[in-house]
Amino acid sequence: MKAGILSLVGNTPIVQLNQFFKDSRFRLFAKLEAYNPGGSIKDRPALHMIEAALRRGDIGPGTTIIESSSGNMGIGLAQACRYYGMRLICVVDTKTTTQNMAILRAYGAEIDLVSKPDPVTGEFLQARINRVQNLLHSIPDSFWPDQYSNIQNAIAHEQTMREIVTELDDRVDYLFCSTSTCGTIRGCATYVRNQNLQTKVLAVDAIGSVLFSDKSAKRLIPGHGAAVVPKLLKRDLIDEVIHVSDLECVVGCRRLVTEEAILVGGSSGAVVMAIERMRETFAAGATCVAIFPDRGERYLDTIYSDVWVEQHFGNVSHLWRNSMESKPCTMATY
């Protein structure tokens, strides 16, 4: 038996997907990061950044942790900070969902709401960073994990890749990984390189994100994509980049729940649609792994709301409804 909730971070399950690419020449496995206790892949770097700072003596029980995050990282930090009895101030903006704010509060985090974008850049992200800086100056014994620059964010994911290759006996031909801070892809790709594996590492980014393109545009779905290029991005570790639209994310998610009964977040939908685009290039018999960063419940008012989908994309339900028919009845074992 393990002690304490944080001991359950990591070692998430991997499942083979048999329906989404039925009769294909490759095997597809999904790493289900929703099984982390805080509900997402961000439990890993949140815990890693906090524990590394504790080990260095940079923080202790009286420290106030301050981070700009409106989503999964905030929740992962809220969990770790609650466990270690530290105060957390999460700097969010008006785009943060009420559900995420409720989860943050339930863990005991304080919410600092930035209501106006930065007057110089017009970006909320810059306004949130400015607010973090102000809070750091005014609160003694305060600490900013800084998920976009903190190498511990990436180091946490060397373990993610270790788990994948251990489970699949070192045979991973393609790894598809969504990107934002680039912690996941940097950590996984570093492991691949250090172990001399032949795995091709593919980044899945949102159209409108500036990570691999200078064409910034409005994005509807949170998670993957970024408005700034993080220090953690190391382009030479990445073999290929695939850009996916918001509509493709929705279609990917809806098809996953329809065909595989897996309810996941937007970036997981993006990843399967990227695989769909690349599948013709895979060698016969290849093993492909998709990282699914979080669960679908945090997207019930958007991706899984018919009203929201119709409002933004029109009547598109035929893009996943057809696959509902003629499901074979194969028994699952448990």
Ligand X SMILES: Cc1ncc(COP(=O)(O)O)c(C=O)c1O
Work out whether 128 is an interface residue with ligand X (CB under 6 A). Answer: no
Catalytic residue among 42, 116, 218, 234: 42
Beta strand pairing call for 14-17 and 27-32: antiparallel
| Total interface residues for ligand X by CB under 6 A | 17
Work out whether 246 is an interface residue with ligand X (CB under 6 A). Answer: no
Restricted to residues 188-207, the positions that interact with ligand X (CB under 6 A) are none
- The residue from 184, 209, 287, 302 that contacts ligand X (CB under 6 A) is 184
- The residue from 10, 38, 39, 71 that contacts ligand X (CB under 6 A) is 71
Number of helices (H) and strands (E), helices first, in the chain? 10, 10
- The residue from 12, 179, 190, 302 that contacts ligand X (CB under 6 A) is 179
Contact between residue 149 and residue 198 where contact means Cβ atoms under 8 Å apart: no
Work out whether 296 is an interface residue with ligand X (CB under 6 A). Answer: no
Work out whether 178 is an interface residue with ligand X (CB under 6 A). Answer: yes
Residue count of the chain: 334
| DSSP code string of 172-207 | -SEEEEE-SSSHHHHHHHHHHHHTT---EEEEEEET
Work out whether 36 is an interface residue with ligand X (CB under 6 A). Answer: no
The interface region with ligand X, picked from 50-58, 67-75, 194-202, 281-289 by CB under 6 A, is: 67-75
Contact between residue 218 and residue 208 where contact means Cβ atoms under 8 Å apart: yes
Tokens of 175: 């790894």
The interface region with ligand X, picked from 4-12, 68-76, 161-169, 323-331 by CB under 6 A, is: 68-76
Q: What is the 3-state secondary structure (H, E, C) of 34-74?
A: HHCCCCECCHHHHHHHHHHHHHHCCCCCCCEEEEECCCHHH
Work out whether 73 is an interface residue with ligand X (CB under 6 A). Answer: yes
Distance of alpha carbon 322 from alpha carbon 203, whole angstroms: 29
Work out whether 76 is an interface residue with ligand X (CB under 6 A). Answer: no
Tokens of 45: 């770097």
Residue nearest to ligand X (CB): 223
Closest approach of Cβ 17 to ligand X, in Å? 18
Work out whether 181 is an interface residue with ligand X (CB under 6 A). Answer: yes
Work out whether 86 is an interface residue with ligand X (CB under 6 A). Answer: no
Work out whether 293 is an interface residue with ligand X (CB under 6 A). Answer: yes
Asked if 42 is an active-site residue, the reply is yes
The interface region with ligand X, picked from 53-61, 182-190, 248-256, 313-321 by CB under 6 A, is: 182-190
> Torsions phi, psi of 333, nearest 5?
-105, 145
Work out whether 180 is an interface residue with ligand X (CB under 6 A). Answer: yes
- The residue from 27, 48, 219, 224 that contacts ligand X (CB under 6 A) is 224
Query: For residue 289, what is the DSSP state?
Result: E
Work out whether 238 is an interface residue with ligand X (CB under 6 A). Answer: no
Give the DSSP H/E element, type plus range, for residue 125.
helix 124-138
Work out whether 265 is an interface residue with ligand X (CB under 6 A). Answer: yes
Cα–Cα distance list, 119 to 58, 95, 136, 155 (Å): 33, 17, 21, 35
The interface region with ligand X, picked from 52-60, 179-187, 276-284, 325-333 by CB under 6 A, is: 179-187
Strands lying side by side in the sheet with 174-178: 14-17, 27-32, 287-292, 174-178, 200-206, 240-244
**Site residues, ligand X (CB under 6 A):** 42, 71-73, 178-184, 223-224, 265, 267, 293-294
Catalytic residue set: 42
